[in-house]
A and B are shown apart, each in its own frame.
Chain A
């Protein structure tokens, strides 16, 4: 029997609404998520991070030979007095970035199979808030894309969590396209990224229109990756009211895995095109893994 796909009937949209409630119930879970986020961010020592280059800053970076034509006032006489050369003292360049974080709040994010400890949206929130916390403590300014203005305050995590909890449901599954980020800002897009590749490409292109850099984090439930279904199964898409009936789900696994790989390849391609990073995170892995990776990339991107 061929796969049957179509619009779900109202009864099934009710099933979808179940997930909506779960997503909205995120606000209820936020205090817990905030704690989890703090715990995760505590493992990432940030500090006011140097940019590993000389520039305007307070910290010593290096002494270098005075080259002619430079203002004489830059000469560090104390160092130059020790030998025959003239030295210039350079400070490390320090600058606060703006990092825009976007967390997918669509209904499909509320999915949790029994292989995973928590739903995708929860993991996304933990990841986003922990990242925000780590960045704020590192002196960056962090904002939720489309929800808040960037802030560098210490209690940014609470502010962001409140904004997240109060946010209207958003079923688009993609960041808003109206706000391209500034050139030196960075965007972190956290979501399941299951929208069609073209839409994702458009959204990323829109965000990166002004040269802003970014990171795509694809949150994946283990069930979405391993496809552990057998027998006659009907698959319901919580977001799109898509319904697919598989006569023997086990026979679909191979094709699905290939299709998923293609999807990911397309996403990686999109990211590479805009010099963004792309990483995949499974919810059965600890949240600190993507956090560390993100943190490292944020750091190196600025270099």
Chain B
């Protein structure tokens, strides 16, 4: 095969190319078709002596075009295929296909399966028996099957979320080859060394003897992995791994919580030649604690997923203090500095307003992993016992000394025995000077810290010089006395700072070293205060020894990953893991979460310190090929297409050469019209689509917005009924005139709005005439109206049916239908002391064109009767979003162009005047809110001021 991945299915047709020179000659000889012109004096031409008649040769480019056209057709007929299917291992005997289906194979599993399928198809064509081995599945005896059966099996083989254990299959493979002397092997490898790939290859080679071995592997890349996720104090990091020391590469790592909600995304950048990169998530600690899953975006393999359990969460630390009344002066509180020092890296819980014992018990109830006791002397027996059990179970207890501790008897919760009382350094009567911090013990957790030179200690509690004291000292003062001691107790630890948590005894809490020291101590805390949460209560009762036994030894799987890194229900083969988890996944313990959701452990595909390496096949006698089989693409259609284009070009050229341009010129007008029509058609075709798209977008009508906002305007909702709308418009015009002439408000002309389309927020008041056949609002419109009312708009619904007697107004069926689904507050007829009656005019009732219809407003919060009695007006804080009447205000307000009323009122013209006053009051009410309600108090206030 040539270097190009191109093959011809009918190569002998290429012989047709030999005809090209002949065609070239032929084309050279054939002159182009002449232009035909009418020429009356043609007869005269008969007598013309043609002097030198060299025929017009075909232009070279046209010749080239035609030759290319013919060559294209010849090539196309030879059925060229791009990426022809690679040849399967040749041979006649049985074929063993070993298929890697570990996590590295998951990302391009389809390609691998297709590769195996191709091999199967080839074997089927050759009539060979086949044995298919999935290397990540448990080893078992290998039997020969037909290719068809093997294909069935191949379909159910799925990538596993673990590294394949290839060595386990070697014995069965050796047996197989011993039984079938003419068998060959095809190994579709995932390209990674993980799972002892080279050893497997060598074993396979040895088992085959002289027979050929074919290895398919992706020569350019392999799967990417994630390992070693760590929730550090400052950030969350995870190592991204790759097997190739290749050029720079960036992978995106996504963090999501237990429910799969993404929490953050960051990039890990592989440097040139680096096989490891670090992705750092700078997230708040709360968010970092929620991270349950880190994955490389788009990797689709279990190896690129890191699961994080509660062990990697940031610790919550409870701070309790023996001092009382701390909160009044926080800077003096013993817990102040501890809290501030812990805050950067831990979740500090403080016990406020309760005693130390209660605080400790509540911390234990919250199952905190670490508790700080600042100068707590004695605890209640119950709290003491539970605290001890908690420490035995893995809690970290950090204590600070102080007068109370110094005075208290040894309670067994200190790492060292303390002398009663303390000692004072540098005091007026002391000989010693304040002692600096001199060293951190090399075996203690503070060993990596540099010793600060600004820490001085003036008072401390002293440890009894027991035999084991030196082992427990983590930090010493200049005179060799311990400053910090710590000791392991059971699974937990107690740590004692021999100074107070505040600055009375030393300036340690003020130094930066304090933060580092606390961080190191808290890091020691087991990630969950009591991992066996369920047993905690019982353990506390029964004591530490029993508690250890009560812890379950194993945790059952709850959710595991499949080979592609997606969560699934645990497979039947998954077994429980030990309670302390596993470093990496095995076939029995697939990666995933084990145990209860809050206290479970996570098992990851890759160990925290894992690295990836490429499978090294050097020195192995095997034919290697690429695993990703590109789909064979027939090229012929493209060649035919190009040939057709060339033919069209040729036609155009011939046309132009034969004088078509002149013809075109003569008919240019018509041709142009045709072209325009065609263009128009072409443009018109996608036009409806485009229109549909633009229609989707809510059009922002700037003209409307300007019109509505350049002046304050009254607005009415167009009902669609011409007469109603006409009256509403005329009525609002009349009211507008009344407002302009009687009040300081000078509104613009009324405007009609459609709540379904127009922006309502521009209008303080919407007049909404309700027709009897009003259709209910659709959901979107309802939401708009609701928002309008919630955001301070007011709507005056007018059912205009008071003349028809009772049942009008708020009880109108049409109104109920219209308002169905709207969030309408409780309503009441406007009481006599409602601010509506005083907003501009003093009113007793609210007549419109009809008299006697109440005006319904939002019911005001009930004020007690006594207060209501001596207040002249009542108002809520805001304007009632809904006003409902049946009095047909617009009918009363409506004036014609000549300024005369359009409709008669139900009684007399005085009622119309009152209707105008009602309208003015309503507008003033909506514009000023409860301002007027406050204004009516002015006389009373003035009276008080005068006194």
- A-side interface residues toward B, CB under 8 Å? 1-3, 5, 15, 19, 108-109, 111, 114, 120, 192, 194, 196, 221, 223-224, 229, 231-240, 242-248, 251-252, 254-256, 258-260, 263
Contact = CB atoms under 8 A, between A and B. Distances in A.
Given A5-B46, A245-B34, 7 more contacts: A15-B36, A111-B38, A246-B34, A248-B53, A248-B56, A255-B49, A263-B44
B40 interface: yes
A258 B50 CA distance: 12
B31 A237 contact: no
Interface in B37-51: 37-51
A252 B46 contact: no
A282 to B, nearest CB: 14
A256 B47 CA distance: 8
A242 B35 CA distance: 16
Nearest to A244: B45
B758 to A, nearest CB: 61
Interface in B657-687: 657, 659, 662, 665-666
A233 B46 contact: no
A279 to B, nearest CB: 18
Given A236-B36, A237-B39, A242-B43, A1 B48 contact: no
Given A234-B37, A247-B53, A252 B48 contact: yes
Given A240-B43, A255-B49, A1 B36 contact: no
B44 A259 contact: yes
Interface in B780-802: none
Contacts of A235: 37-39, 42, 45
Interface of B is mostly: loop
12 contacts: A1-B31, A1-B53, A192-B41, A229-B37, A232-B31, A235-B45, A236-B36, A237-B41, A238-B38, A240-B43, A247-B31, A251-B52
B54 A233 contact: no
Contacts of B47: 259
Contact of A194 (B32, B36, B44): B44
A246 B666 contact: no
Contact of B50 (A2, A19, A239, A260): A2
A120 B38 CA distance: 13
Contacts of B659: 231, 233
A235 B44 CA distance: 11
Interface of B: 31-56, 657, 659, 662, 665-666
A234 B40 contact: no
Contact of A2 (B31, B39, B44, B53): B53
Contact of B662 (A114, A232, A251): A114
A1 B51 CA distance: 10
A255 B38 contact: no
Nearest to A233: B35
Contacts of B662: 114
Contacts of A243: 42
A238 B46 CA distance: 15
A108 B40 contact: yes
Given A3-B48, A255-B49, A248 B54 contact: yes
Contacts of B56: 231-232, 247-248
B43 A260 contact: no
Contacts of A3: 45-46, 48, 50, 53
B37 A238 contact: no
B38 A244 contact: no
Nearest to A114: B666
B33 to A, nearest CB: 8
A198 B76 CA distance: 64
B38 A15 contact: yes
A255 B35 contact: no
A303 to B, nearest CB: 36
A8 to B, nearest CB: 10
A251 B50 CA distance: 7
B34 A236 contact: no
A21 B942 CA distance: 111
B40 A255 contact: no
Contacts of B53: 1-3, 246-248, 251
Contacts of A242: 42-43, 46
A237 B50 contact: no
Identify the 5 closest CB pairs spanning chains A and B, nearest first: A108-B40, A255-B48, A237-B42, A235-B39, A232-B34
A237 B49 contact: no
Nearest to B55: A247
A260 B42 CA distance: 11
Contacts of B41: 192, 194, 224, 237, 256, 260
Nearest to B47: A259
A3 B43 CA distance: 12
Contacts of A251: 50-53
Contact of A236 (B37, B54, B657, B665): B37
B45 A256 contact: yes
A245 B51 CA distance: 14
B258 to A, nearest CB: 82
B51 A255 contact: yes
Given A111-B40, A236-B36, A247 B46 contact: no
Contacts of A254: 51
A184 B91 CA distance: 115
A246 B55 CA distance: 9
Contact of A231 (B35, B38, B39, B54): B35
Contacts of B50: 2-3, 246-247, 251-252, 255
B36 A234 contact: yes
A252 B41 CA distance: 13
A221 B42 CA distance: 13
Most chain B CB within 10 A, of A15, A194, A235, A245, is at: A235
Contacts of B40: 108-109, 111, 120, 192, 194, 221, 224, 237-239
